Structure 1
Amino acid sequence: MPVIKILPHATLCPNGTSITAPRGTSICEALLDNGIAIEHACDMSAACTTCHVIVREGFRSLNAMDETEEDLLDRAWGLEADSRLSCQAIVADTDLTVEIPKYTINHARENH
């Protein structure tokens, strides 16, 4: 099974960690299955950007983005060239390194 290395995030994964995920699993599902409570306000239906991640290694091994994901990512906080919605990014056979951005657009959770 591929390994997903999660870089440290102040609240969700302070020390960083590595997890395994079966091929065909979304990054979001893999994180949640391993106790990393990434936001997913739309219940993984590709209707928000709260599960936005930056794929630091292994980006090209993921499935191609569809138009909906591309459009939504334009609204994500801290968007980078290797950004994905973790609910739409499907793990293949390649190990990944993932960074969870500090903020989301979920203003209720961010206390804005």
Structure 2
Amino acid sequence: MPKVTYRGGPDGERTIEAESGRNLLEIAEENDVKMGSACGGVCACSSCHCYVVEGEDSLDEPSDAEEDRLDMAFEVHPNSRLGCQVKLGDEDIVVELSQESVEVWFNEHPEHRPKAG
């Protein structure tokens, strides 16, 4: 089974074994990774914006719909993807969460926001 390593955000780095064909957002949600999902994962926003750091060649190319939504994201790079659209292949990948995605997650879960100190 391939592994996804999520980097960034308040949890640091987490590696999760997951089934091929699942998308990065589903895997993140099932494993308490703080990846935003304002639209619920239907490619209607850019809140699950992330960067594929390793393993990009094992993934399908982004669809036109995904590229259109990435136009709404902040700090888009050539390796930017939407977690709801990236289906895990048969190889391990490393993903870095965008600051935008982590902030959306905390907006969706304010009870988990760190207290100002």
What TM-score, normalized by structure 1, do the two folds share? 0.86
Q: Could you list the runs of 5+ residues in structure 2 that have no partner in the other structure?
A: 108-117
Tell which deviates more after alignment, 42-51 or 61-70.
61-70
Q: Highest CA radius of gyration, 1 or 2?
A: 2
8 Å CA contact retained: 2:54, 2:93:
yes
**Residues matched between the structures, number:** 106
8 Å CA contact retained: 1:8, 1:17:
no
Residue 62 of structure 1 is matched in structure 2 by: 59
Report % sequence identity: 31
1:84 and 1:62 map into 2 onto residues whose CA distance is 11
What TM-score, normalized by structure 2, do the two folds share? 0.82
Following superposition, the deviation at residue 99 of structure 1 comes to 0.3
Cα deviations across residues 29-64 of structure 1 (Å, max 9, x unaligned)? 111111113111111110000001100001121122
Match of 1:90 among 87, 90, 94: 87
Between Structure 1 and Structure 2, the one with more helix by share is 2
